[in-house]
Amino acid sequence: MSGQLDVLIVNPGGRKKAYQDLGGSLAAMEPPIWAGLLGSFVRAKGLSVKILDTDALALAPEDAAKRIDALNPILTVVVVYGHNPNASTWVMPGAGTLCRTIKATKPDRKILMLGGHVSALPERTLQEEDVDFVCDGEGGYTIVDLVEQLKHEQPKLDAVRGILYFENNEIQRTAPAPFVVDLDREMPGIAWDLLPMDLYRAHNWHCFGEESRSPYAAIYTTLGCPFKCSFCCIQAPFKQGEKALGYKPNVNSYRKWSPSVIGRQIEILVENYGVRHLKFADEIFLLDKEHVEGVCDEILRRGYDLNIWAYARVDTVRDEGLLRKMRKAGIRWLALGIESANRKVRKDVYKGYREEKIEETVQKIQAAGIHIVGNYIFGLPEDDLASMRETLELAKKLNTEYANFNSAMAYPGSALYQEALEKGWDLPQTWDGYSQHSKTSLPLPTRHISAKEVLAFRDQAFVEYFEREEYRRMVEKTFGEKVLGQVLEMTSKSLERDLLKIN
């Protein structure tokens, strides 16, 4: 095996199923952050590694399998992550098809599947997918351990941390692998040189008023989240690592890269790849004031003109001075998790802030010159038609520069998924049914209304919000006539929904 490639990390495709026509020109083409992080980690451990982004390259599974066969790695790692931490499950149809195609081309090709969805449902993934191994954790140490063993004629799989595999038709599960604690030293960034950087583009709204949506990149400045929202599955890939490191089960890990390392990552993106449009993909970037200030200082020290967006919660926006510094550093958009206007609905999913805090927070952000993407969820367990209408009317009143309207989904790895299983709620029969935009999308029913009512309301809410004269006047005034045309194009694309065809 001398000279053979150790690891090929593959980002699977499947955008059409998950997004329908929105996956074409409107949606972002995101760089596969986790594939890039794992690439840098295993390379630092001395392994040879390449990344194949089948999504960005628009490769059919058969073409991807041919490329993989030509590269002939010791281990092929299929990474199942989506555009955001809750989107991993949507990727599974594409990932599954790719693995079946690889195995049809070369049955003895060794495949490890990992990612958020896989960590949430490792046994089921191993049983259902055409793979040799699944990883129940973050992945870095598991890949290194597994490649080391596969280089031997008689691999000792029980020495590999963090995998599940079949032996004598029974599932074997090894000891959990820790996650990377020293991010700065062991995983100091993304292996950008292994990615097709010229193919990535930002979301349409992220570049309202901009000449172009590329070059574009996305990075993490932190990993994990200390909060426990019942609809979120972000912590799934980290729970086994937490176990290996002795965390209590009810404690969520939260790790940070130092601002200096983040600054260096941004420097590489700007100087080497011409990136201006950037996403901080952290579940909540605006959380630790010292960290946020440090990252902003690194950008300001370099004098870059950036267009950045990041996530925030209503209750993490406190410091108006920090908001102004963020804007100077190039953070032009915050995606704000508002979720619901109804206190009872929010309290039920552990979002305990007051209604008046929402408007106050929006005003603070916009006063600092930062645009807002309002994130709303319809169909949370305590929702009914009246409370969802309340949320939509709040969204209209706030009239933020963009808004995402989602249906509540019981994503594997979330507390809501466990509740759905315990209470026998209907869940999607296929993984693409967890996508917000797919034909087969199947949200949860609430305690008061059906899944069909939730989905119908969500789709109508999108139309109501973006077709309002108040919104369109604001967009044209803020970003110009060209952007208004882009909004009109966006609202002209309707989604097909199988659920809404059922009588």
Cα separation, 126 vs 134, whole angstroms: 6
CA distances from 38 to 53, 179, 248, 332, 338 (A): 14, 12, 26, 29, 32
Please, which residues bridge with residue 441 across strands?
A: none
Count of C-beta atoms within a 10 Å radius of residue 145? 19
Position 365 scores a pLDDT of 97
As to burial, measured by CB atoms within 10 angstroms (0-12 exposed, 13-18 middle, 19+ buried), residue 450 is: middle
**Is the pLDDT score of 160 beyond 90?**
yes
pLDDT of residue 86: 65
Judged against a pLDDT cut of 80, whether residue 83 lies above it is answered with no
Sketch the domain layout of the chain as residue ranges.
7-173, 201-221+257-408+443-501
Using DSSP's 3-state secondary structure scheme, residue 247 falls into coil
For range 56-62, the mean pLDDT: 95
pLDDT digits (tens, 9 = 90+) for 97-110: 999 999 999 999 99
Residues listed for the chain: 503
Pick the CATH number of 7-173 from 3.40.30.10, 3.40.1170.20, 3.40.50.280, 3.40.47.10: 3.40.50.280
Is there a cis peptide before residue 215, judged by omega within 30 degrees of 0?
Answer: yes
Class of domain 201-221+257-408+443-501: alpha beta
Which two three-digit tokens encode residue 451?
């899944």
pLDDT digits (tens, 9 = 90+) for 110-136: 999 999 999 999 999 999 999 999 999
Across residues 10-34, what is the average pLDDT?
73
Q: What is the pLDDT of residues 379-408, one digit of tens each?
A: 999 999 999 999 999 999 999 999 999 999
The CA distance from 500 to 502, in Å, is: 5
Whether 448 contacts 383, CB under 8 Å: yes
Whole-number pLDDT of residue 490? 85
Of 11-15, 25-29, 159-163, the range with the highest mean pLDDT is 159-163
- Tell me the per-residue pLDDT of 132-156, one tens digit each, with 9 for 90 and over: 999 999 999 999 999 999 999 999 9
351-379 pLDDT, tens digit per residue, is 767 777 899 999 999 999 999 999 999 99
Q: Is the pTM of this model over 0.75?
A: yes
Asked if 27 contacts 495 with a C-beta cutoff of 8 angstroms, the reply is: no
468-498 tens-digit pLDDT = 999 999 999 999 999 999 898 888 878 899 9
Confidence bin at 1 (pLDDT 50/70/90): very low
- State the residue for tokens 């009512």: 453
pLDDT, tens digit, 9 for 90 and up, residues 233-244: 888 888 999 999
Please state, rounded to an integer, the average pLDDT across all residues of the chain. Answer: 93
Rounded Cα distance, 471 and 170, in Å: 57
Q: pLDDT tens digit string along 236-268?
A: 888 999 999 999 988 999 999 999 999 999 999
Task: State yes or no: pLDDT of 22 exceeds 90.
Answer: no
Residue 17: pLDDT band (50, 70, 90) is low
